[in-house]
Structure 1
Amino acid sequence: MSKDILFEIGLEEIPARFIRAAMEQLQDRTSKWLDSVRITHAGVTAYATPRRLAVFVKDAAEKQEDISEEVKGPSRKIALDANGDWSKAALGFARSQGVSPEQFTFKELAGVEYIYATRNSAGVETASLLSEGLLEIVNAMTFPKNMRWGAYDFKFVRPIRWLVALFGKDIIDLEITDVKAGNVSRGHRFLGTETVISEPAQYVESLRAQHVLVDVKEREDLILKQINHLAEEKNWTIAIKEDLLEEVLFLVETPTVLFGTFDPSFLNIPQDVLITSMREHQRYFPVFDAAGKLLPFFVTVRNGNAVSLDVIAKGNEKVLRARLSDAKFFYQEDQKMKINDALAKLENIVYHEELGSVGDKVRRIRQISDRLAVKLGLSDTALSEVSRTADICKFDLVTQMVYEFPELQGTMGEDYARKAGEPETVAKAIFEHYQPRFAGDAVPSTDAGSVVSIADKIDTIVGCFSIGIIPTGSQDPYALRRQAAGIVQIVLEHKLPITLREIFEAAIEIHKNSGNSKHSDDELRINLYEFFSLRVKRLLSDNVRYDVVDAVTAAGFDDVVDVVGRSRALMGAVLDQEDFKITVDSLTRVSNLAAKATSEGIDPSLLKEDAELQLYNTWQELHTPYLEAMSANNAEEALRILSGLKDAVTAFFDSVMVMAEDEQVRANRLALLAGIDADSKAFADFGKLVW
């Protein structure tokens, strides 16, 4: 026999950003608890709205499963004394398992006989476990921020106002902070009333009747359906940003989509300003025409029904008008400021107490950018654009618009720089130097944007490392991992002819000259390489097996373009060539013996046997083309050439005694293998591949 379980925690409004994780946590903890106490069921479903978290367990067994398990005890030698009677150890084992010694059996394990006891445990009624179990689940839940209320020591995401706890039609005896569980839930705050949940299976429909859609997927589908219908009806394109949809989804219990309008004169403000104000401050969805031009409309979602939508729209329009009026004022005032005046104000903004002001950071960015630009061999025009971009890349941080909307840094810099008469490339690069802002974001398209972006990011990373701020575990307050990944992404996508070491050295030297560093240059390099190795490995692991990643990075990852090429070539060889394992085995055997080499010089006159002469000649023939292919980042060709050694290596090991008695011959053969191994290790450590 089975019954359904319903557990609903009614709360004051939960922050939208906490709800999905809390819902999933409640579902996961409930499922794990049921498994731990051996209550079978047909699945756990979670529900959530701004005012509730709930789980529904379908067909939970009315009784725990009975268990019968065999427990191993002492060996026969220890369990029996010299007279064949049970020893104290055996009797103690019997008491601990709740059995009599007569129930023992003997079984052999690894050549030794042990006593075994069979312990039977009858399952108890599920109803007797639920009260304590649900309380355990609630107490175990964690949130980004907790609250205490009244005189209670109990902490939760928000104060608990009601509880519904049912096992079938029976109410579970449960009480938290003087709130006693029952079968009465609450509907929509304004449209609904209290409602009795007579049994768990009626939960969704009972609350639907009280204007609450507890099913998160149903609410999301309804929002999207209404938005898409409105877009089709008006011939609009309504931009649905996933994080905004997620937030709106957990702000409403009964979603109703509506639209409003704003004064078209506000469209003279940059489009990004209007979009940001609507999305970030008002939780509105912006509206575009077919060409992608912003229209003077917005779409929002009401937590209620369709009654008096025109009144609701007017209220939203009034609030938005005030927001956009502020933005318009800031925009007009900012344009009165000269770029040089803005740069002077950066000197008064502390970047970090140990790393100076934002003005100091800008000067470091300029110095690093200039060095990287020279390394990349940019034209004189590009060098000039890099320098100017670096000089003014942060000037918009002191504008009123960026103060009000921090997420518009770079966006406003581009707009204001263009209006101030800066070259188009420089204006664009000011925006681009923040890219990529997040995983999947575009990289800068201009040379100036790419160089200054790398300079800005490596200055932050080296600066933090130099004063001891290195990410550990999940702690990364300065987003150094994201910035390192951004550097790797820029170098890779533009195939920049620059190594990580050259990037590191430019920043290390600048910070060393500023006197900020608490670590030696060598310590910084070690920490930086270790930090970036994880970023490179993570990049490679998206499309490459872990063992291939380990193999190619062991050969070096300083050249990001090169290591990506080698990983793809090796992955292709591992997957597509059945005989490639023979090549790998040959090169691995070469590597194992090469480790014993004591000299690098090879004397051809000491190569007497046909197989070793053939190996030497084959290697000499392939060595130069192999190095040329590696130098040209043609990894597939380099691997093909390296694979050409396979037959000669196999013949060598089949007929030549490497560890010859003659010391000179032995050393010469090992030196030959060491030379081949050096070529092989420049591509990958093939011994790390797993077959």
Structure 2
Amino acid sequence: MAENLLVEIGLEEIPAYVVEPSVLQLEEKTKQFLEENHLTFTQINTFSTPRRLAFQVQDLAEKQEDTEEEIKGPAKKIALDEEGNWSKAAQGFVRGQGLSTDDIYFKTIKDTEYVYVTKQTIGKKAIDVLPGLKEVITSLTFPVTMHWNKYDFEYIRPIRWLVALLGDQIIPFKILDVTTDRMTYGHRFLGNPVAIENADVYEQRLAEQYVIANHFKRKEMITDQIQTIAQENNWQIDMDEDLLAEVNNLVEYPTAFVGDFADRYLQLPDEVLITSMKEHQRYFDVKTPKGELLPHFISVRNGNQTKIENVIQGNEKVLVARLEDGEFFYQEDQKISIDECVEKLKSVAFHEKIGSMYEKMQRVQVISRIIGKYVGLSAEELADLQRAAEIYKFDLVTNMVDEFPELQGVMGEKYALIQGEKPDIAQAIREHYLPTASEGELPVSNIGAVLAIADKLDSVLTFFAAGLKPKSSSDPYALRRQTYGIVRILANKQWPFPFKELQDKIMSTINQNEALYGTQLADQAAEVRNFLKGRLRQFLLAQKHRYDIIDAVIDADQEDIHQLLEAANTLAQHLNDKDFKSSIEALTRVMNLGQKDNSENEVDPALFENETEQNLYQAVKDIEDQFAVRTVEENYQALTSLRPLIEDYFDQTMVMTEDEKLRNNRLAQLRKITKMAFAVASLNDLVTK
């Protein structure tokens, strides 16, 4: 008869960010354990709070499934001696399976007979298998761990109790000095210890002790309570999902409440107020229906309504202290000029092996100027870009950013506007950090986009030059994320970006004046380009492109990132064309031969022996003349239009003829097509079957 299984790990408070991934890991490892032990079930429900990780397996089989396994042994000629008796090899084989030679039979595989036996295993009772869950619990991994008491064992936090029940039976095992039982513990202040009679009543018994163990129900309670407050007051609440998830994992019994702060703090920038509330106190900010910030906040306590007034006062007091700091810093920062801040950056290290933040800004001026000119910024945009690059890190030495690092860039924009900088320059200062996450917000303005690319590219070039490139298991300077950001910005702006050409200009300029720029960019050019293409591959995967298209794009003889992105889109759009297969196969045949020619020989029409050579030559010449100014789509169409000419050409022309002059001339013709094809994509990587 199937029964439910319950396991709960009772812990000291776990950091909120660890709760959800830990219970998901516990679920996955439990599922694997049950499947490996042939115990069937219908589903696994998980429960989690800051003090417990738990799961309930529904309809767990009473015993393991009986199994039957056919096992191959030695060849027949080894299993039998010359007199037809069982050899020691055969006897040892069956003994190892718990069987006898009477169970042997033979099967032929590739003209050779082998010994086989069928081993039947009677499943154990579930209650006898489940103590193995101890290994599941102890195998969990965490971003940080600790050990306690006299034990060497490490875990996210000390284990204080263990519940393990199959129906109403305790599953016996022990971790350190904690033995499994049916006793769990309610809310730290509102609840009591409680015995769980059987696995079915776990959630109910905890609810009676002020613990909402189901994290989905707890999240729904928080959302409903906040929405009720908002509706009653006609407020707008931004239900930030990350903040909601964090708050949900900080409480066992949530009660939302409203706190207030003085109107005068609304003179501070909204970002300062919101950061003080959200990032430091885990409060939800409150706005009018029009989106204007109000002097209130919503928080969630871990408990009920008892003495809620004291809780509100305490939270208000803590927030006001933060806001007073913010007000003081905001006023003090306005007493220093931007130029004074920039001067201070000379003593702020970017990295000890690379130089100061001021020197980084000098390099970024060079990089942004080169990129800005290449992507076609106007003279006014270039002038604004230059000014932005001269000052864009100045807010790093302000009091506000020192206290609230999350506001770097944001405060740069605010202070730049206060000190009379143009709005476009101030916006670029904020946008140069974007995107701050792999799929985060992108810069909107052209100036901000170029500055963001230049800042990130400088980090990649200088860290690679200093030998600080990412490893397979670590990327301490977030170079992968920054480079992925470059790719996303370029894809969004659709700017031409021939990376090798731009990289060479940047390195040449910076390496001429190490005293000004603080470093030499060592020759890591090829390695950096490969790193960039790796992030391009990641981007194309995120865009759901086929693997063969991605391979074709990455392997292309093309350095312009925009051209590579366009190639991926072009190939994806033509996959279902009726002549796609035949066109790619024709071009692949050309490329396979064209790659054999490493010469720079020109094609000599005087050596043509048939009309198909002349026809192909003229068509290729027409494409070559326009290739550099056409779009990727136009070049793809032009190349695939060669298909009938290529097919006729191969029907009537022997490329690898014994005549060396003719052979070289024909290879030179195919090399021209190959070169253009590789400039679009490595088309011979495409799968056409």
CA distance in 2, matches of 1:502, 1:622: 24
2:608 matched residue in structure 1: 607
Q: Does residue 217 in structure 1 map to residue 206 in structure 2?
A: no
* Residues 459 and 569 of structure 1, relative CA distance in 2, 3 Å threshold: same
Q: Is the partner of 2:428 in helix, strand or coil?
A: helix
**CA deviation string 1:519-547 (max 9, x = no partner):** 841xx112101110111111122231111
CA distance in 2, matches of 1:184, 1:641: 76
Q: Is the partner of 2:47 in helix, strand or coil?
A: strand
- Conserved? CA contact 1:162–1:185, under 8 Å: yes
User: RMSD between aligned alpha carbons?
Assistant: 1.9
- Conserved? CA contact 2:514–2:520, under 8 Å: no
Q: Is the partner of 1:443 in helix, strand or coil?
A: coil
2:664 matched residue in structure 1: 667
2:417 matched residue in structure 1: 418
Q: Is the partner of 1:441 in helix, strand or coil?
A: coil
CA distance in 1, matches of 2:344, 2:496: 36
2:685 matched residue in structure 1: 688
- Conserved? CA contact 1:533–1:557, under 8 Å: no
TM-score, reference length from structure 1: 0.95
**CA deviation string 1:264-286 (max 9, x = no partner):** 11010001000000001110011
CA distance in 2, matches of 1:340, 1:437: 26
* Residues 397 and 570 of structure 1, relative CA distance in 2, 3 Å threshold: same
- Conserved? CA contact 1:433–1:449, under 8 Å: yes
Q: List aligned pairs for 1:134-213, cutoff 5 A.
A: 134-213=133-212
CA distance in 1, matches of 2:488, 2:680: 21
Q: Which sits farther off after the overlay, 15-24 or 302-311?
A: 302-311
CA distance in 1, matches of 2:429, 2:105: 80
Q: Which sits farther off after the overlay, 524-533 or 380-389?
A: 380-389
CA distance in 1, matches of 2:366, 2:660: 56
Q: Which sits farther off after the overlay, 507-516 or 337-346?
A: 507-516
The amino acid across from 2:634 in the alignment is: E
2:463 matched residue in structure 1: 464
Deviation at 1:407, TM superposition (A): 0.7
Deviation at 1:557, TM superposition (A): 4.9
Deviation at 1:413, TM superposition (A): 1.1
Of 635, 654, 672, 1:657 maps to 654
Q: Is the partner of 1:565 in helix, strand or coil?
A: helix
* Residues 621 and 447 of structure 1, relative CA distance in 2, 3 Å threshold: closer
Deviation at 1:466, TM superposition (A): 0.8
CA distance in 1, matches of 2:673, 2:363: 44
CA distance in 1, matches of 2:262, 2:123: 70
1:637 matched residue in structure 2: 634
1:11 matched residue in structure 2: 11
2:24 matched residue in structure 1: 24
Q: Which sits farther off after the overlay, 91-100 or 16-25?
A: 91-100
Q: Which sits farther off after the overlay, 404-413 or 546-555?
A: 546-555
- Conserved? CA contact 1:186–1:193, under 8 Å: yes
**CA deviation string 1:29-81 (max 9, x = no partner):** 11111111111122222110011000111121222222221111111222222
Moved over 4 A (4+): 515-520
- Conserved? CA contact 1:62–1:125, under 8 Å: yes
Percentage of identical aligned residues: 42
2:577 matched residue in structure 1: 577
- Conserved? CA contact 2:146–2:157, under 8 Å: yes
- Conserved? CA contact 2:235–2:289, under 8 Å: yes
Q: List aligned pairs for 1:619-630, cutoff 5 A.
A: 619-625=620-626, 627-628=627-628
* Residues 68 and 559 of structure 1, relative CA distance in 2, 3 Å threshold: same
What is the number of residues matched between the two proteins? 683
Deviation at 1:511, TM superposition (A): 5.4
CA distance in 2, matches of 1:598, 1:412: 57
CA distance in 1, matches of 2:146, 2:228: 40
Q: List aligned pairs for 1:274-313, cutoff 5 A.
A: 274-313=273-312
1:268 matched residue in structure 2: 267
Q: List aligned pairs for 1:436-585, cutoff 5 A.
A: 436-509=435-508, 512=511, 513-514=513-514, 520-521=522-523, 524-541=524-541, 542-574=543-575, 576-585=576-585
- Conserved? CA contact 1:458–1:503, under 8 Å: no
Q: Which sits farther off after the overlay, 338-347 or 506-515?
A: 506-515
Q: Which sits farther off after the overlay, 600-609 or 33-42?
A: 600-609
CA distance in 1, matches of 2:615, 2:504: 44
Deviation at 1:306, TM superposition (A): 3.0
Deviation at 1:324, TM superposition (A): 0.7
Q: Does residue 329 in structure 1 map to residue 334 in structure 2?
A: no
2:318 matched residue in structure 1: 319
CA distance in 2, matches of 1:34, 1:51: 25
Deviation at 1:377, TM superposition (A): 4.5
Q: Which sits farther off after the overlay, 34-43 or 436-445?
A: 436-445
Q: Which sits farther off after the overlay, 459-468 or 669-678?
A: 669-678
The amino acid across from 1:672 in the alignment is: Q
* Residues 152 and 674 of structure 1, relative CA distance in 2, 3 Å threshold: same
CA distance in 1, matches of 2:267, 2:520: 50
CA distance in 1, matches of 2:112, 2:521: 59
The amino acid across from 1:643 in the alignment is: T
Q: List aligned pairs for 1:208-247, cutoff 5 A.
A: 208-247=207-246
* Residues 334 and 19 of structure 1, relative CA distance in 2, 3 Å threshold: same
* Residues 432 and 289 of structure 1, relative CA distance in 2, 3 Å threshold: same
CA distance in 2, matches of 1:454, 1:278: 31
The amino acid across from 2:618 in the alignment is: N
2:126 matched residue in structure 1: 126
1:590 matched residue in structure 2: 590
- Conserved? CA contact 2:41–2:59, under 8 Å: yes
The amino acid across from 2:338 in the alignment is: I
* Residues 377 and 684 of structure 1, relative CA distance in 2, 3 Å threshold: closer
Q: Which sits farther off after the overlay, 511-520 or 679-688?
A: 511-520
1:618 matched residue in structure 2: 619
CA distance in 2, matches of 1:355, 1:622: 47
Q: Is the partner of 2:40 in helix, strand or coil?
A: coil
The amino acid across from 1:44 in the alignment is: I
